[in-house]
């Protein structure tokens, strides 16, 4: 795929996303003209660009969509639910077509073509329904230019009597080398309207020896008739906007503007005037009038400035002085131009960077962090205070670089959330439920790679909530809730993780049914006493589904375990908070970043371990603790703890003083008992090999400044281990009690 095509694919996808968002808004507010225009522009841009890259199948399909949108824009047809659905399907189909192009296939497969035809028929039907009453208007519209300028009150000659645009374009030398052919832009331009006259200007071509056959020297003056707006015409040349000089004069512009146009162009004034006459933009009389005007005003000005060192003033300056030009220019293109230029300005603030370049930068920063740690260590050992100071400044800078580099990868989750507007709309229609999506916390940022991977699990949870969670309208009314259900997506930061919540105001999980199903499936033995939390967590077991009727969306029981697995693969967790009759909240907890963390270095015997600093609450000394007990009294609170020495079977003597690192994760607190506390440490996470995939309690490894390897503790797994060990002991003791009772 060449560069132009890949740019097209990328930009078209963005346009499609805009279009889809616009269509969704359209349903809510059918009267919003700005919105309709935005949708039209998006479709139009795709069509234009596909014409430029000569991708016929996208162009022809988009053209049909554009026709409908045009009618919509002109108020010839009104928005209906059917039409919106149809347009959304067209949107999807355009996405498929772009996929085809991206895959490098010359033409779409027969199924896709058939789909296009089916959509085309439906579009035609909509058009036909609309056009019956609009024949008269349509016939007129062809010859009526879009923009009329109000009569001019200032001096500067009469209005030029022509209903065509004058488009003047000079292509820059690098256009051809950039793989773009000016002719194809002009051909595309001719699809927007009718070229009444065209003149090719080869004047810029240098002498034969200097002429580079791979540079472009041509310019064109085009007399053009169209219904399209100035922005649309400008957009034809979007791909070469930096490389060409483009001037567009709207129909019925003032003579002075033509004059200014002639003045500003590089070619000889007389010749250019003739050219304009030839291509029909001006009549000979108008040209004469313009030139006379130019002459007069120059003379007059010279008379005015007698005595001073008068020099003939350029016409452009005169016009500016007389306030003719600004006024006219402002009048000509007011709204649209500002809109276009604002968009351009916004675009230029963003730079597209390839993701792998960014990854490479992060890798390098990671190495920098490790190297910095080693320098720090050596400096501390040397005992030279100057050196220590210098390295500490250095490490502060490295820390800043690390943060900004990671920041580059951060994206807001809002975009991902907004995709769900469509999902919710479609699923709600399918289920015949009335469901509203409420999004909050869209500005919460998280790592790009996480965002990419969270889409699928999130989609599943959303569908699940809509299908199983939110009840049918009758039941809701019977329960005293509003008929339309609400689905919430929320995100926020919480102690080094990002939390994403999918909540519904449905009936909550039915624990008895889950339990019954689990027993039926043999997932648990009957007679086991499970806590509420354990019961709801059963829905994450493979092959579990309570839905009697398998629906299209969910209920096949293949989803939730996959969801959990996907989330675990991101070092995250998922939990359920269900309230009977009130609703369910699924909470996904994910690490903010996958690459570098702030760590807390601890030591057991000779080994070093890293605890993610975000999870550390405090450190206390472990005193007078009998070996057997695994909990302590933390200011009146029971704190279970785990001895790392026991957990990892580390040999060696227990030092006289042990320390407890109190960690917190997902609202649970636990202690980790270690020998030494070694302080904060920037940690570059290196994943463990596949061989250690099943290792519980260790999340990865890192390299210390000294070159030694330290293991990164998986706090979540350790806490769970604490909790389950506690429970086991409780159960054992219960059983012992039971046994004694029997005796």
Partner 1 sequence: MPNRQRITLQEDLTIYHALEQKGRLLDALNQADEVELDLSQVSEMDTAGLQLLILLKREAQKAGKQAIIVAHSQAVRSVIDFCNLAAYLGDPLVIPAQEAH
Q: Are 674 and 604 in contact (CB under 8 A)?
A: yes
Site for partner 1 in 260-289 (CB under 8 A): 279
Residue 142 or 179 with smaller CB distance to partner 1: 179
Q: How far is the CB of 45 from partner 1 (least distance, A)?
A: 23
* Residue choice 25, 63, 96, 187 for contact with partner 1 (CB under 8 A): 187
Q: Could you say whether residue 182 binds partner 1 (CB under 8 A)?
A: yes
Q: How far is the CB of 66 from partner 1 (least distance, A)?
A: 24
Cα 601 from chain centre: 37
Q: How far is the CB of 215 from partner 1 (least distance, A)?
A: 8
Q: Could you say whether residue 208 binds partner 1 (CB under 8 A)?
A: yes
Beta strand 709-713 pairing with 607-612 = parallel
Q: How far is the CB of 48 from partner 1 (least distance, A)?
A: 18
Q: Could you say whether residue 202 binds partner 1 (CB under 8 A)?
A: yes
Token readout for 406 is 């990671």
Site for partner 1 in 532-591 (CB under 8 A): none
Residue 61 or 220 with smaller CB distance to partner 1: 220
- What three-state secondary structure class fits 465? helix
Q: Could you say whether residue 246 binds partner 1 (CB under 8 A)?
A: no
Q: Could you say whether residue 236 binds partner 1 (CB under 8 A)?
A: no
* Residue choice 7, 84, 127, 198 for contact with partner 1 (CB under 8 A): 198
Residue 82 or 241 with smaller CB distance to partner 1: 241
581: CB partners within 8 A, 6+ apart: 479, 507, 508
Q: For 444, list phi and psi in degrees, rounded to 5.
A: -65, 135
DSSP assignment string, 256-271: HHHHHHHHHSSS-HHH
CA dihedral 685→686→690→692, nearest 10 degrees, is -70
Q: Are 171 and 216 in contact (CB under 8 A)?
A: yes
| CA distance linking residue 123 with residue 77, whole number of Å | 12
Residue 11 or 181 with smaller CB distance to partner 1: 181
Beta pairing partners, 419: none
Q: How far is the CB of 195 from partner 1 (least distance, A)?
A: 8
* Residue choice 21, 97, 186, 491 for contact with partner 1 (CB under 8 A): 186
Q: How far is the CB of 682 from partner 1 (least distance, A)?
A: 52
Q: Are 500 and 453 in contact (CB under 8 A)?
A: no
Q: How far is the CB of 291 from partner 1 (least distance, A)?
A: 24
Q: Which of 414, 408, 443 is nearest to 593 (CA)?
A: 408
Spell out the alpha helix ranges (H) of 383-413.
385-409
Q: Which stretch binds partner 1 (CB under 8 A): 170-178, 460-468, 590-598, 670-678?
A: 170-178
Judged on CB neighbours under 10 Å (0-12, 13-18, 19+), 284 is: exposed
How big is the site for partner 1, counted in residues (CB under 8 A)?
24
Q: How far is the CB of 239 from partner 1 (least distance, A)?
A: 14
Residue 240 or 718 with smaller CB distance to partner 1: 240
How many Cβ atoms sit within 10 Å of the Cβ of residue 429? 13
Q: Which stretch binds partner 1 (CB under 8 A): 39-47, 143-151, 198-206, 229-237?
A: 198-206
Q: Could you say whether residue 405 binds partner 1 (CB under 8 A)?
A: no
Token readout for 246 is 């483009």
Residue ranges that bind partner 1, judged by CB under 8 A: 171, 175-177, 181-183, 186-187, 197-200, 202, 205, 208, 211, 213-214, 216-218, 220, 279
């Amino acid at each position: 795929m060449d560069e132009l095509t890949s740019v097209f694919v990328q930009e078209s996808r963005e346009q499609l996303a805009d279009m889809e968002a616009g269509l969704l808004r359209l349903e809510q507010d059918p009267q919003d003209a700005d919105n309709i225009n935005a949708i039209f522009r998006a479709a139009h841009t795709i069509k234009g660009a596909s014409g430029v890259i000569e991708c016929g199948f996208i162009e022809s399909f988009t053209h049909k969509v554009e026709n409908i949108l045009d009618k919509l824009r002109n108020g010839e047809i009104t928005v209906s639910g059917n039409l919106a659905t149809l347009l959304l399907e067209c949107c999807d189909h355009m996405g498929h077509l772009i996929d085809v192009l991206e895959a490098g296939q010359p033409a779409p497969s027969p199924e896709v073509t058939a789909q296009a035809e089916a959509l085309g028929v439906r579009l035609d039907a909509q058009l036909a329904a609309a056009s019956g009453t609009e024949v008269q208007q349509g016939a007129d519209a062809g010859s009526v230019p879009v923009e009329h300028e109000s009569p001019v009150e200032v001096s500067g000659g009469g209005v030029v009597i022509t209903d065509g645009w004058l488009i003047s374009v000079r292509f820059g030398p690098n256009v051809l080398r950039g793989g773009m052919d000016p002719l194809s832009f002009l051909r595309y331009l001719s699809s927007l309207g009718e070229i009444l006259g065209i003149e090719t200007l080869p004047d810029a071509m240098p002498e034969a020896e200097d002429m580079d056959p791979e540079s472009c020297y041509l310019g064109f003056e085009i007399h053009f008739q169209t219904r399209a707006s100035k922005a649309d015409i400008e957009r034809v040349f979007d791909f070469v906007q930096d490389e060409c000089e483009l001037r567009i004069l709207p129909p019925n512009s003032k003579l002075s503007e033509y004059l200014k146009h002639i003045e500003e162009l590089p070619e000889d004034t007389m010749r250019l005037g003739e050219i304009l006459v030839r291509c029909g933009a001006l009549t000979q009389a108008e040209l004469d009038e313009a030139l006379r005007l130019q002459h007069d005003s120059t003379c007059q000005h010279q008379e005015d400035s007698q005595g001073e060192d008068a020099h003939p003033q350029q016409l452009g300056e005169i016009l500016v002085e007389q306030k003719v030009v600004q006024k006219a220019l402002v009048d000509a293109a007011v709204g649209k131009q500002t809109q276009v230029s604002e968009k351009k300005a916004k675009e230029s603030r963003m730079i597209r960077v390839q993701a792998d370049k960014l990854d490479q930068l992060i890798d390098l920063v990671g190495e920098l962090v490790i190297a910095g740690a080693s320098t720090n260590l050596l400096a501390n050992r040397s005992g030279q205070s100057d050196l220590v100071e210098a390295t500490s400044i250095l490490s502060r800078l490295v820390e800043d670089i690390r943060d900004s580099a990671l920041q580059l990868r951060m994206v807001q989750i809002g975009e991902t959330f907004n995709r769900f507007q469509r999902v919710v709309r479609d699923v709600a229609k399918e289920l015949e439920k009335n469901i509203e999506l409420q999004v909050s916390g869209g500005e919460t940022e998280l790592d790009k790679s996480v965002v990419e991977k969270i889409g699928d699990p999130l989609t599943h949870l959303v569908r699940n909530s809509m299908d199983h969670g939110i009840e049918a309208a009758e039941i809701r009314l019977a329960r005293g809730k509003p008929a339309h259900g609400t689905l919430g997506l929320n995100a926020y930061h919480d102690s080094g993780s990002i939390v994403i919540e999918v909540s519904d105001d449905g009936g909550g999980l039915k624990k008895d049914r889950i339990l019954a199903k689990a027993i039926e499936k043999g997932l648990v033995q009957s007679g086991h006493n499970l806590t509420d939390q354990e019961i709801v967590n059963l829905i994450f077991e493979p092959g579990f589904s309570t839905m009697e009727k398998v629906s299209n969306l969910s209920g096949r029981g293949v989803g939730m375990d996959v969801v959990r697995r996907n989330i675990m693969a991101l070092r995250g967790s998922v939990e359920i908070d269900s309230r009977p009759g009130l609703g369910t909240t699924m909470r996904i907890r994910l690490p903010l970043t996958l690459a570098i963390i702030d760590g807390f270095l601890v030591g057991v015997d000779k080994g070093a371990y890293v605890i993610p600093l975000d999870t550390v609450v405090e450190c206390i000394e472990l005193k007078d603790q009998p070996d057997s007990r695994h909990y302590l009294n933390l200011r009146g609170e029971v704190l279970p703890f785990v001895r790392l020495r026991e957990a990892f079977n580390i040999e060696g003597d227990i030092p006289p003083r042990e320390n407890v690192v109190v960690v917190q994760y997902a609202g649970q607190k636990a202690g980790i008992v270690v020998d030494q506390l070694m302080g904060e440490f920037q940690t570059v996470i290196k994943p463990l090999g596949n061989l250690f995939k099943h290792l519980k309690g260790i999340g990865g490894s890192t390299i210390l400044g000294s070159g030694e390897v330290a293991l990164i503790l998986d706090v979540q797994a350790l806490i769970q281990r604490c909790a389950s060990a506690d429970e086991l002991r409780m159960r054992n003791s219960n059983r012992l009690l039971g046994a004694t009772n029997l005796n």
